[in-house]
């Protein structure tokens, strides 16, 4: 039996789509590691539930409540049938103390999340939906892009983005199609290749100026 199976036997649960793992404001008694499926992290803003992120296999979440011993600052809901590890505070502390690699990986992931949160705040300040899409493409290029022969390759699952960006999926697909016709990106399913990030940034600035001043 492999290490992953052993961990799942000890700490694992299989949960169906729609399961609420925890709600904002509840006390936090455990953190989660996602082995399979998807989980949406959301927060209520002015009585509207806003999706902050959709997490996939390999991601962890819920750790801040057990680190700070404070109520959950967001809610988590299973988006696709999931396999999760549930880690209690004592086990979590033992893992951190006993394995420096786990601690370093967690610090890097938390830093990445802070960067994503800053980018999302900046994105939501943009009034133009097209600008939000391009801004997000550029942020993913900077944080999770993979250099390729034709440019920067990124994963871009459009079905997960409408609630995160506040832009409908048809509008997202239209903008990607427009960028592809302009030669700025290539689209292959849920993956994009950004041919020239500098040109794409220039296009974003153009849209921002057009939105601000109109057609002169």
Taking Cα atoms as reference points, which of 143, 151, 127 lies closest to residue 53? 143
Query: What's the rounded mean pLDDT across residues 120-127?
Result: 72
User: Are 62 and 22 found together in one domain?
Assistant: yes
Q: What is the pLDDT of residues 188-204, one digit of tens each?
A: 988 999 999 999 999 88
Q: Is 40 within 8 Å of 76 (Cβ atoms)?
A: yes
SS (H, E, C) the chain: CCHHHHHHHHHEEEECCCCEEECCCCCCCCEEEEEEEEEEEEEEECCEEEEEEEECCCCEECHHHHHHCCCCCCEEEEEEEEEEEEECHHHHHHHHHHCHHHHHHHHHHHHHHHHHHHHHHHHHCCCCHHHHHHHHHHHHHHHHCEECCCCEEEECCHHHCHHHHCCCHHHHHHHHHHHHHCCCEEEECCEEEECCHHHHHHHHHHHHHHHHHCCC
Same domain, 92 and 168: no
Question: For residue 94, is it within any domain?
Answer: yes
Boundary (domain end) residue, out of 99, 133, 157: 99
Residue 108 lies in a domain: no
> For the residues 175-190, what does the mean pLDDT come to?
92
Same-domain status, 92 and 130: no
Residues 145 and 199 in one domain: yes
Q: Which domain holds residue 56?
A: 3-99
Give the residue-averaged pLDDT of 8-15.
Answer: 88
- CATH number, domain containing residue 195: 1.10.10.10
Asked whether residue 64 is domain-assigned, the answer is yes
Residue 57 in domain: yes
Q: Are residues 95 and 142 in the same domain?
A: no
| Chain mean pLDDT for the chain | 85
Read off the pLDDT of residues 41-62 as tens digits, 9 standing for 90 and up.
Answer: 988 766 777 888 888 998 889 8
Same domain, 130 and 170: yes
Total tally of structural domains belonging to the chain: 2
**Of 42, 64, 99, which one is at a domain's C-terminal end?**
99
Residues 11 and 78 in one domain: yes
Q: Which residue has the higher pLDDT, 176 or 8?
A: 176
If pLDDT is split at 50, 70 and 90, which confidence band does 3 have?
A: low
Same domain, 192 and 151: yes
Q: What is the CATH number of the domain that holds 33?
A: 2.60.120.10
* Residue 92 shares a structural domain with residue 134: no
> Above 90 in pLDDT, residue 96?
no
46: left (phi over 0), alpha (psi -120 to 50) or beta: left
**The pTM of the whole model exceeds 0.85:** no
Q: Is residue 79 part of a domain?
A: yes
In a domain, 117, yes or no: no
**Measured distance between the N- and C-terminal CA atoms of the chain, rounded to whole angstroms:** 68
pLDDT value at 116 more than 80: no
The arrangement of strands across the sheet holding 185-188 comes to 146-147, 152-155, 191-194, 185-188
């Amino acid at each position: 039996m492999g290490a992953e199976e052993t961990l799942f036997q000890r700490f694992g649960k299989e949960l169906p789509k729609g399961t609420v793992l925890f709600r904002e404001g509840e006390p936090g008694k455990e953190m989660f590691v996602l082995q399979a499926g998807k989980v949406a992290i959301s927060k209520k803003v002015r009585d509207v539930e806003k999706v902050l992120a959709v997490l996939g296999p390999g991601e962890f979440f819920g750790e801040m409540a057990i680190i700070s011993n404070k109520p959950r600052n967001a809610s988590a809901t299973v988006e696709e049938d999931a396999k999760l590890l549930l880690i209690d505070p004592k086990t979590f502390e033992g893992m951190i103390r006993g394995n420096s690699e786990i601690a370093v990986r967690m610090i890097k992931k938390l830093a990445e999340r802070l960067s994503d949160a800053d980018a999302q705040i900046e994105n939501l300040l943009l009034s133009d939906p097209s600008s939000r899409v391009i801004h997000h493409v550029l942020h993913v290029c900077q944080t999770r892009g993979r250099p390729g022969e034709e440019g920067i390759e990124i994963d871009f699952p459009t079905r997960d983005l409408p609630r995160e960006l506040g832009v409908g999926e048809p509008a997202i697909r239209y903008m990607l199609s427009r960028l592809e016709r302009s030669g700025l990106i290539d689209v292959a399913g849920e993956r994009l290749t950004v041919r020239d990030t500098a040109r794409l940034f220039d296009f974003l600035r153009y849209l921002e100026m057009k939105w601000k001043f109109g057609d002169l």
